Structure 1
Amino acid sequence: MNTKTIVSLCNKLKLAGVAQAFEQQTKNAEYIDMAFDKRLLELLNAQLCFTQDKRQKSLLRQAKLRFPNAYMDDIEYELYPGLKPATVNQLAKCDWIKNYQHVLLIGPTGKGKTTLACALANEAIKQQVPTLFYRMANLLLELVAAKKENTLDKLTRKINRVPLLILDDWGNALMNSEERHLFFELVEARDQNGSLIITSQYPVSTWHESFQDATIADSVLDRIVHKGHKIELKGESIRKLMGINVSKSGGHNAK
């Protein structure tokens, strides 16, 4: 058997997963008497895993998460009073994305909203869901700049191609007339076509104020809030709690 030739052909055909698995098979005696179809099935499964892993890494790079290493398994629920594991585990299934629903993470600064948003995003990426992360202020700046540079269509197509869009720090600044119009058009285009994760320090009841226009505020929020899974994070700042734990444990770095 010419292992090198087979591996070379697999790589030329961009079947790196098959090539790696085949090399492993040739080094393991248990495969000598295994039926061809079983060996082939293992090779194809190896290629599938390789392709999915490669796709996942690509989606993670494209998402540009603020905390790309935030995962559900690392959530310390004792730092999130009132956050129920059952709720988080249900959201991790990502059925809400398939149904074009949203997740609203509300709470004071330092409560880990962005970390939780990124952990949810990583679950979506594991399921091969394209994702984008924006700080709300930066998104508004990009929309305005794209309009001035006549590239607005290109930017909105890029954003609307992803099923999951994360908007971090909603409501930190008031929108001017141009910003709220552009944002309304974006939300309108994504309605029934995509999902949002929104983090905000402010209660949903105050979100109208950032628009400075009651009609547009009603139109935007009606498309978001009524289809949103709202999670309110309470208690002390996680940064403060982690700082206390750091000092008690001898100065280890807190994440």
Structure 2
Amino acid sequence: MLHQHTIAQLRDLKLLGMANALQRQMEQPGSSDMTFEERLAFLVQHESDHRNERRYTRLIQQAKLKYSQACIEDFDTRAGRGVERSQFTSLALSEWVSTGNTIVITGATGCGKTWLACALAQYACRMGHSARYLRITRLSEEIRTMRVTGTYTKWLTELARTDLVVLDDWGLVGLDAQARDALMEIVDDRCGSRGTIITSQLPVDHWHAWIGDAAIADAMLDRLLQQSHRMVLKGESLRAPSRSRTPKKPV
């Protein structure tokens, strides 16, 4: 009864990891052989693990990644992909997010740019960083909606506080004035303090022309590329070919 009362108190205190661990201790005969210090360490460790898992779950939900299950351990770095395993691992495990670096991933369609960006963002969430995935192709429409609902300024503020922002499909469609201004705000807020990932089919040398406004392009690229790491993915498309339909037999 005493243990059940203690477990109930732990749950009331929102110490769910400790409560579950104590419940398991009570159900395992061998736990009585542990010292008080060992049992306490076991409870504290489970509470820490439980909180970390809850934090990760919240961060990954808020990130809204296109591929939320992508992880750096599964990235294909075989010969011909253009990225060496040691180079990739060294970058992924570094402090590039907190030092405000930009990772630029370019390559042909279907080569895995978006998947890789999501894997890096997922690992950042595992390390406790907040992240957010944005598609440039939908940016103008989303901005128009937010301006109508009065949430545009709040959205910019939230992005400025986010540790890592993924800008997917950079250069795929033309920019209108409001999308260009929004990107400038996003990039300026992150310069030197928070991480950014950009995926693009468009080579970096063509970005200035794509942005359109020369002054904004100069300012944006100066902020993005002064602390950047570039990866050029190569090889054939990784997307599965669509299955050919079996023709119907004539009646």
1:114-129 matches, cutoff 5 A: 114-129=114-129
Name the residue aligned to 1:209: 209
For residues 126 and 138 of structure 2, the distance between their equivalents in structure 1, rounded to whole angstroms, comes to 26
Q: Report Cα offsets for 1:141-185 as digits up to 9, x if no partner.
A: 323433344322211111112110001000112212232122212
2:60 matches 1:60: yes
Tell me what 1:252 maps to. Answer: none
**Alpha-carbon separation, structure 1, partners of 2:140 and 2:177:** 11
Aligned-partner residue type, residue 92 of structure 1: A
More helix, by proportion: 1
> Do the aligned residues in 2 keep the contact of 1:91 with 1:120 (CA within 8 Å)?
no
Write out aligned runs for 1:145-184 (5 A).
145-184=145-184
Give the match's secondary structure for 1:223.
Answer: helix
Cα root mean square deviation, aligned: 2.0
The answer as to whether partners of 1:79 and 1:238 remain within 8 angstroms in 2 is no
> C-alpha separation between the residues in 2 aligned to 1:112 and 1:91?
17
Shift of residue 80 of structure 1?
Answer: 5.7
Aligned to 1:188: 188
Gapped regions of structure 1 (runs ≥ 5)? 248-255
SS of 1:114's partner is helix
Residues 136, 66 of structure 1: alpha-carbon distance in 2 compared, 3 angstrom cutoff: same
Identity of aligned residues (%): 33
TM-score, normalising length from structure 2? 0.90
Matches within 5 A, 1:1-255: 2-78=2-78, 81-239=81-239, 242-243=240-241
Is the alpha carbon distance of 1:143 and 1:79 closer, same or farther for their aligned partners in structure 2, counting shifts above 3 Å? farther
Count of matched residue positions in the alignment of Structure 1 and Structure 2: 244
Q: Distance in 1 between matches of 2:126 and 2:200?
A: 25
Amino acid at match of 2:146: A
SS in 1 for 2:173: coil
Tell me, in whole angstroms, the C-alpha distance in 1 between the residues paired with 2:141 and 2:221.
20
TM-score w.r.t. the length of structure 1 is 0.89
Verify the 8 A CA contact 1:176 1:211 in the aligned structure 2: no
